[in-house]
């Protein structure tokens, strides 16, 4: 295992090795059951315990109050782009979206298919290389909710502190930085995330939602798309992604073993600093692609080299050293190092070592 590649993939992404080891054993036989976690019924008491344990961990980590429910759904964050307006965007209301990247744009587009939705702030004119300014932003009086994206996976921007919209229901897509820092879950009407970056494998969508709001959704929408259906059934209304939920539980247990979100945040800050220092200390050889340093992500570090040829050469050398997943998203170019919770500092240091040698040689 010691010669595993260092995994900088944006998602699905690196998971703690101890989680993979535990999961691989459970794929053969669950402790005390003898059958694979893949083979047991989602109605069995063993799976009910796995499900309840993972939900309890979400609640603990984000201090989710009793006014909110935790749901494990399917369909990814993209499914939430539609399910949110389907449940919450009333006829005379408007969805208010803060556009900070391609994913928030997609969320807005889906809302527009289902009702009225507008952008209330956008950094699209800046190519999303910084976060939009929220100074003096006007939320429409008939807003059903304000939607934000906490971390912009493609561009490498992240709200240093999550914005607040007093008196409004705040919906936040936390797909790429969930459980990377402390969050007060009760401050949000709805939080959602595909699990595949910081919380487990793809196939599980984590939702934390205000109970009263969820109950207010019209009963005319299809049963499967009503949040309330899943809340009423502990997310076991239909067959859940059982292995995925098991892995979410293991991943959250690992976070708690690390000391919880305050400790995880500290480690994430330290890792990001090493990488950004290498970029900023390179005399302009490496350039961070985020224009406002205060908006830099601690999860996805995006940077450019002096030319595309050098970028290709760098990626080749990285590949030879088994540093994988570093190619930037096609809409930004350059490189992107995704350094989620499970990335050890040693992995970042290996990358920085290559960056320094490469700069001197080129
Ligand atoms: N939102 C953000 C911030 C993302 O990073 C992604 C995926 N990378 C999505 C939404 C879409 O997630 P999914 O593929 O789970 O639908």
Q: How far apart are CA 355 and CA 67, in angstroms?
A: 48
150 Cβ closer than 6 Å to some ligand 1 atom: no
9 Cβ closer than 6 Å to some ligand 1 atom: no
Convert 76-101 to b/e letters by CB count within 10 Å (16 or more is b): bbebbbbbbbbbbbeeebbbbbbbbb
User: Would residue 211 show up in a list of annotated catalytic residues for this protein?
Assistant: no
Q: How far is the CA of 46 from the centre of ligand 1 (A)?
A: 30
198 Cβ closer than 6 Å to some ligand 1 atom: no
Query: Residue 206 in contact with residue 199, Cβ under 8 Å?
Result: yes
Task: Give the neighbor-by-neighbor strand order of the sheet with 68-73.
Answer: 68-73, 205-210, 190-194, 170-173, 143-149, 94-99, 116-122
User: Would residue 103 show up in a list of annotated catalytic residues for this protein?
Assistant: yes
Q: How far is the CA of 172 from the centre of ligand 1 (A)?
A: 12
Q: How far is the CA of 171 from the centre of ligand 1 (A)?
A: 15
pLDDT score at 3? 85
97 Cβ closer than 6 Å to some ligand 1 atom: no
Give one DSSP letter per residue of 22-46, joined into a string.
HHHHHHH--TTT-S-TTTS-TTSHH
- Cα–Cα distances in angstroms (integers) from residue 99 to residues 107, 120, 131, 140, 158, in the given order: 9, 8, 8, 16, 12
Residue nearest to atom 9 of ligand 1 (CA): 77
HEC string for 138-202: CCCCCEEEEEEECEECCCCEECCCCCCCCCCCEEEECCCCCCCCCCCHHHCCEEEEECCCCCCCC
Query: Residue 106 in contact with residue 81, Cβ under 8 Å?
Result: yes
Q: How far apart are CA 302 and CA 332, in angstroms?
A: 9
Query: Residue 55 in contact with residue 252, Cβ under 8 Å?
Result: no
Catalytic residue chosen out of the listed positions 69, 103, 105, 213: 103
Nearest one of 290, 302, 299, 348 to 151, comparing CA atoms:
299
332: region left, alpha or beta (phi > 0 left; psi from -120 to 50 alpha)? alpha
Q: How far is the CA of 158 from the centre of ligand 1 (A)?
A: 14
Catalytic residue chosen out of the listed positions 69, 173, 177, 271: 173
- The β-bridge relationship of strands 68-73 and 205-210 is antiparallel
Nearest one of 116, 87, 109, 114 to 225, comparing CA atoms:
87
Q: Is the dihedral of CA 231, 232, 237, 243 positive or negative?
A: positive
**Among 12, 151, 194, which residue has the most ligand 1 atoms within 8 Å of its CB, making it the best to mutate?**
194
Q: How far is the CA of 81 from the centre of ligand 1 (A)?
A: 10
User: Would residue 316 show up in a list of annotated catalytic residues for this protein?
Assistant: no
**Index of the ligand 1 atom closest to the CA of residue 174:** 3
78 Cβ closer than 6 Å to some ligand 1 atom: yes
Q: 6: number of CA atoms within 13 Å, CB side? A: 22
For residue 207, give both structure tokens.
């939702």
Bridge partners of 117, per DSSP, are: 95
Q: How far apart are CA 350 and CA 362, in angstroms?
A: 18
**Which residues does the chain have with pLDDT short of 70?**
1-2
Query: Residue 323 in contact with residue 3, Cβ under 8 Å?
Result: no
Rg, the chain, Cα only: 21
Q: How far is the CA of 21 from the centre of ligand 1 (A)?
A: 26
153 Cβ closer than 6 Å to some ligand 1 atom: yes
């Amino acid at each position: 295992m010691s010669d595993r590649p260092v995994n900088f993939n944006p998602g699905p992404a690196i998971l703690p090795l101890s989680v993979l080891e535990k999961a691989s054993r459970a794929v053969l036989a669950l402790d005390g059951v003898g059958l694979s976690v893949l083979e047991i019924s989602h109605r069995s008491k063993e799976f009910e315990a796995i499900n309840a344990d993972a939900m309890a961990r979400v609640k603990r980590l984000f201090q989710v109050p009793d006014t909110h429910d935790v749901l494990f759904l399917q369909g990814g964050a993209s499914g939430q782009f539609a399910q949110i307006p389907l449940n919450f965007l009333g006829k005379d209301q408007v969805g208010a979206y803060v556009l900070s990247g391609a994913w928030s744009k997609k969320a807005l587009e889906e809302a527009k298919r289902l009702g009225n939705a507008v952008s209330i702030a956008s950094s699209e004119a800046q190519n999303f290389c910084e976060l939009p300014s929220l100074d003096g932003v006007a939320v429409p009086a008939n807003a059903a909710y304000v939607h934000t994206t906490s971390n912009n996976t493609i561009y490498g921007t992240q709200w240093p502190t999550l914005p607040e919209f007093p008196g409004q229901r705040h919906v936040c897509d936390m797909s790429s930085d969930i459980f990377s820092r402390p969050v007060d879950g009760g401050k949000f009407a709805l939080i959602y995330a595909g699990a595949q970056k910081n919380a487990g494998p793809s196939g599980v969508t984590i939702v934390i939602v205000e109970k009263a709001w969820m109950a207010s959704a019209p009963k005319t929408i299809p049963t499967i798309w009503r949040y309330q259906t899943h809340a009423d059934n502990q997310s076991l209304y239909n067959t859940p992604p059982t292995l995925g939920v098991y892995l979410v539980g293991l991943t959250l247990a690992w976070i708690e073993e690390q000391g919880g979100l305050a400790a995880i945040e500290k480690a994430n800050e330290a890792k990001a600093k090493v990488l950004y220092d290498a970029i900023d200390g390179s005399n302009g050889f490496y350039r961070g692609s985020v224009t406002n340093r205060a908006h830099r992500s601690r999860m996805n570090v995006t940077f450019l080299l002096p030319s595309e040829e050098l970028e290709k050469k760098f990626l080749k050398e990285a590949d030879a050293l088994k540093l994988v997943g570093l190619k930037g998203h096609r809409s930004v170019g350059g490189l992107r190092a995704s350094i989620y919770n499970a990335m050890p500092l040693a992995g970042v240091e290996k990358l920085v070592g290559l960056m320094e040698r490469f700069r001197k040689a080129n």
